[in-house]
Amino acid sequence: MRAAAEIESFQAIGISRLAHALKAEGRSIIHMEFGQPSTGAPRAAIETAHRVLDADGMGYWESPALKARLARHYKERYGVEAEPDQFILTCGASPALVLALASSFSPGDRVALARPGYVAYRNTLKALHMTPVEIACGPEARFQLTAAALAALDPAPDGVIVASPANPTGSIVAPEEMAAIAAVCRARAIRIVSDEIYHGLSYGAPTPSMLEFEPDALVINSFSKYFSMVGWRLGWLLCPKAHLDRARAYVGNLFLTAPSLSQHAGLVAMDSRDELDGHVAVYARNRQLLLDALPRLGLASIAPPDGAFYVYADIGHLTDDSVAFCKALLNDTGVATAPGVDFDPVDGARFIRFSFAVSTLEIQEALGRLEPWFKDAATRR
C-alpha cells in the first residue's frame, strides 16, 4: 500500500497558539502572524445575512446572481469575458486550489512554483501526490517567478502556480512579465493556475488577471482578503469552458457547494467598495509606517511589498532560526509574526513575515515595542 503524503504544519499556527496563551495570561498581544484582515465583513453584507437567515432554508445552492456579478466584475475590471457558469463557488481559495490542481494534473505530475511562496501550494501538491518544482526567487527576481526561469526548467513542468500579489512577499508580476510567462507556458504546454486572491490590495502597481494573457488559465480567488470575509469561507474557481465538466465533477464529489449565507452576503460585499477601499487606505498607511521604521530596526533588506498586506524581511544578520526568533520576539514584546520557514524550506530560516492587516494604532504600538528589541538583538549578536 502506498503511504499517505507527509506534509508539514504551519509554524505560524504554533506562534499564534503561543500568542493566545500569553494573552490568556493577561499579556498585550499584537497579531501580525496571520494574513487576515482584523476588520469584519462589509456592514451591508452583515445586514443582508441577518435578514436572509430568517427567510432562507439554506439548502445546497449556487447563487446565480453571485456568478453573474462575478462575470460582470471580470468584464469591468479586466476586460475579460466569462459566462456566469464558468464560476465554481467554493469555501474559499483553499478548496478552489485543490479543485484546480486535482482536476488538471495527475499524481506524479510536476508543478512549478516560486520559493518563497504560500505554504499550502507545496503541501497541497504533495497531498495530491504531485511534485512541487520550487524555483528560487530571490532579490534579483524581485522574489517573483519570471518567464526566463520557467523557460529554463528542463524538462518543462506540467503546470505552474502563479501568485501575484504574492504571499509572503506582496510582490507583483509586471504585466509584460505576465504576458511573457503566458507565452512560455503556451509554447511549452504548461498549464497555468493563477492565484489572484490578493487582487484589490495593490499600492500602485497594476494587477492584471492572467486571463488577459492566457484564456485557458485556471484562476482562483476568494472573499477572504480584499472583501474582509475570512470566516465566511467563500471563494471561486474561474474555469476555462473546455475544463468545466471535469471541474464540476470534482466539486460535486469533493465539496458540493459553498455556504448559502455567505453567497448572499458576498453578493452584497461586491458592491461595498467604498467601505472596502477604506480598509485598503488603512493598509497603505500601515505599510508606509513599517517601511519608514524598518531601516531603524536594522531591517534594510525586504521584498518589494507592492501589494497584499505583508512585509517579508531578511533577518539573517540576527539569526539562522526564524522559528526561535519569532518565539523570542513574541515572548519579549507581545508582537506575533510568521517565521520564513513556512514559505521557504531552504532560506526561510533567515526571514520573517509581518502582516500589516491590523489597525494603524496596533502598527504604531508594535513599532514602539520592536525598535528597542531589534536594537538589543543586534548588540546581543
Binding mask 20-59 for ligand PLP (x = CB under 6 A): ---------------x------------------------
Stretch that binds ligand PLP, among 3-11, 58-66, 88-96, 182-190 (CB under 6 A): 88-96
Q: Toward ligand PLP, which CB reaches closer, 167 or 171?
A: 167
End-to-end alpha-carbon separation of the chain, Å? 50
Tell me, residue by residue from 211 to 230, as one string, x for binding to ligand PLP by CB under 6 A and - for no binding.
-----------x-x-----x
Cα 111 to Cα 332: distance, rounded to the nearest angstrom: 40
Distances (CA, A) of 315 to 184, 288, 312: 35, 20, 10
| Distant-in-sequence, close-in-space partners of 97: CB < 8 Å, separation ≥ 6 | 120, 121, 124, 193, 195, 220
- Quick one: which of 103, 167, 202, 286 contacts ligand PLP (CB under 6 A)? 167
Of 91-99, 106-114, 132-140, 238-246, the segment contacting ligand PLP by CB under 6 A is 91-99
Shortest distance in whole angstroms from residue 221 CB to ligand PLP: 8
d(CA 75, CA 228): 23
How far apart CA 365 and CA 318 sit, in angstroms, is 22
Residue numbers 303-332 binding ligand PLP by CB under 6 A: none
Residue 154: Cβ within 10 Å count:
6
CB of 163 closer than 8 Å to CB of 195: yes
Tell which positions 94-113 bind ligand PLP, by CB under 6 A.
94
CB of 308: closest distance to ligand PLP in angstroms? 8
CB of 196 or CB of 293, closer to ligand PLP: 196
Interface pick for ligand PLP out of 15, 45, 93, 269 (rule CB under 6 A):
93
Q: Is 216 helix (H, G, I), strand (E, B) or coil?
A: coil
Nearer to ligand PLP, 39 or 94 (CB): 94
If binding is defined by CB under 6 A, does position 197 make contact with ligand PLP?
yes
Query: Grid coordinates representing 251?
Result: 466539486
- Using the contact rule CB under 6 A, the part of the chain among 38-46, 86-94, 318-326, 356-364 near ligand PLP is 86-94
The string of DSSP letters for 243-309 reads GHHHHHHHHHHHT----HHHHHHHHHHTT-HHHHHHHHHHHHHHHHHHHHHGGGGT---B----BTT
Is residue 137 a contact residue for ligand PLP (CB under 6 A)? no
145 neighbors 286 (Cβ within 8 angstroms):
no
Q: Select from 170, 200, 235, 307 the one that contacts ligand PLP (CB under 6 A).
A: 235
Region binding ligand PLP by CB under 6 A among candidate stretches 23-31, 60-68, 90-98, 279-287: 90-98
Task: Rule CB under 6 A: say whether 193 interacts with ligand PLP.
Answer: no
Site size for ligand PLP (CB under 6 A): 13
Q: Where are the beta strands (DSSP E) in the chain?
A: 30-31, 87-90, 110-115, 131-136, 159-163, 191-195, 218-222, 235-238, 310-314, 335-336, 338-339, 351-355
Q: What are the two backbone dihedrals, phi and then psi, of residue 147, each rounded to the nearest 5 degrees?
A: -60, -40
371: helix, coil or strand?
helix
Q: For residues 89 and 156, which CB has a smaller minimum distance to ligand PLP in the complex? A: 89
Q: Least separation, in Å, of the C-beta of 118 and ligand PLP?
A: 4
In the complex, the residues that contact ligand PLP under the rule CB under 6 A are: 35, 92-94, 118, 163, 167, 195, 197, 222, 224, 230, 235
